[in-house]
Copies of this chain bind each other. A is one copy, B any other.
Amino acid sequence: MKQPSQKDLHFAVLATDVALFSVRDNMLLVRLVSVNRPPYFPNTQGLPGGLIDPKETAEEAVARHLETKAGVAASTLYIEQLYTFSTVNRDPRGRVVAVAYLALVPWEQLSAKQQANTKDAWWAPVSEARKLAYDHDEILAVALARLRSRATYTTLIGRLMPKEFTLTELEHVYESVIKTKLDKRNFRKKILKLDILSELPRKRASGPHRPAQLYRFSSEKVRDIEVL
């Protein structure tokens, strides 16, 4: 581990960490990577991330590290800045300030390879993502709080949905994000009144029951409109 030189006095190592979420089978998942940095963090797990280069913005660094470490193409993602963590000893090896990001991706938009779990990167239910390296437990907690909060007053949830979905599927994703059971009739009335969905000219049959009407979000934009 290197000693700080005089030159470093006003410099710090700048990094990004990303809480990347997706939803599969009504379960909220977060992308984790293996971390093996003895002696402090041998053989453990953490959020994907890495250093910010001098010639790139924090956003560009996030995209780069997601592609190389988490195996996810940034172009399909929604990314927003979360919080900057600057506690002096958050990395025991030296001063590292992390600009953390919240990212979302629809499960169906991931390739089979991206959906798969390897020993280097995998999807974990958020309820099981604990004991992370560095201060990643805290970063994840902040990311979850932000996701849950913004899901209630923006159209952020749209970035977790596939292109086409049923109202029941949308309701389930809401329920898994905000951890609350919703009333089917009231949910449908509210979400349709918001005028953010478009009815598609087809239905999906998926079992021994009535086929469900398909919808899509009218806009890709995340709007700040009261929901729920």
For A90, the closest partner residue in chain B by CB is: B57
Q: Please report the C-alpha to C-alpha distance between residue A83 and residue B11 in the assembled complex, in whole angstroms.
A: 19
Asked if A84 is an interface residue, CB under 8 A from chain B, the answer is yes
The stretch from A33-41, A48-56, A161-169 touching chain B is A48-56
User: Oligomeric state, in number of copies?
Assistant: 2
Contact with B along A43-81 (1 / 0, CB 8 A): 000000001111111110000000000000000000001
Residues of B within 8 Å of A52, CB to CB, are 10, 12, 86, 97
Interface footprint category on A: 20 to 34
- Cα A83 to Cα B81 in complex, Å, equals 8
Question: Is the CB–CB distance between B51 and A10 below 8 Å?
Answer: yes
| A11 touching B54, Cβ below 8 Å | yes
Q: How far is the CA of A159 from the CA of B32 in the complex (A)?
A: 39
- Residues of chain B within 8 A of A12, CB atoms compared: 11-12, 14, 52, 54
Instruction: Kindly state whether residue A99 has any CB partner on chain B within 8 Å.
Output: yes
Q: Is the CB of A11 within 8 A of B9?
A: no
Taken together as a complex, chains A and B put the C-alpha atoms of A170 and B51 apart, in Å, by 46
Contact with B along A75-118 (1 / 0, CB 8 A): 00000010110111000000101010000000000000000000
Which residue of B7, B11, B54 is within 8 Å of A14 (Cβ)? B11
- Tell me which of B9, B51, B58 contacts A97 (CB under 8 A): B58
Which B residue's beta carbon lies closest to that of A99? B84
Q: Is the CB of A56 within 8 A of B97?
A: no
